[in-house]
Amino acid sequence: AQSVTQLGSHVSVSEGALVLLRCNYSSSVPPYLFWYVQYPNQGLQLLLKYTTGATLVKGINGFEAEFKKSETSFHLTKPSAHMSDAAEYFCAVSDTTGGTSYGKLTFGQGTILTVHP
């Protein structure tokens, strides 16, 4: 069975500061990993994903994440926080069979990011 643990249900940063949201996963097969973001009253939207290849992946709005197999981690970072980054962020892992995913995701519990002026 797969699982995802997000360390810290709430993270607060100042505008312009580094954003670091932590995610650890467990999976018995090579995982596909995702970060989704949910703004208030909106649906979840994909921020970035790792499938194969380069372990440092870049997403929208200046976010990036690094897949570290040895640490089973996929932490999300952004060098400089903006007020508009305030949202809830979810890390997720997908089942893969034969190197493909059919979209069944296991999500972490989410991290609410607050950005202070």
Q: Give contact residues for another protein (rule: CB under 8 A).
A: 4, 9, 32, 34, 36, 41-46, 49, 51, 90, 92, 94, 100-110
Least Å distance between CB 16 and another protein?
28
Residue 36 CA: distances (Å) to CA of 21, 70, 80, 93 = 12, 23, 19, 11
Query: What is d(CA 35, CA 39) in angstroms, rounded to the nearest whole number?
Result: 13
Least Å distance between CB 70 and another protein?
23
Q: Of the two residues 49 and 86, which places its CB atom closer to another protein in the complex? A: 49
Residue 31 CA: distances (Å) to CA of 14, 58, 78, 91 = 33, 17, 23, 12
Q: Of the two residues 28 and 117, which places its CB atom closer to another protein in the complex? A: 28
Q: Of the two residues 47 and 81, which places its CB atom closer to another protein in the complex? A: 47
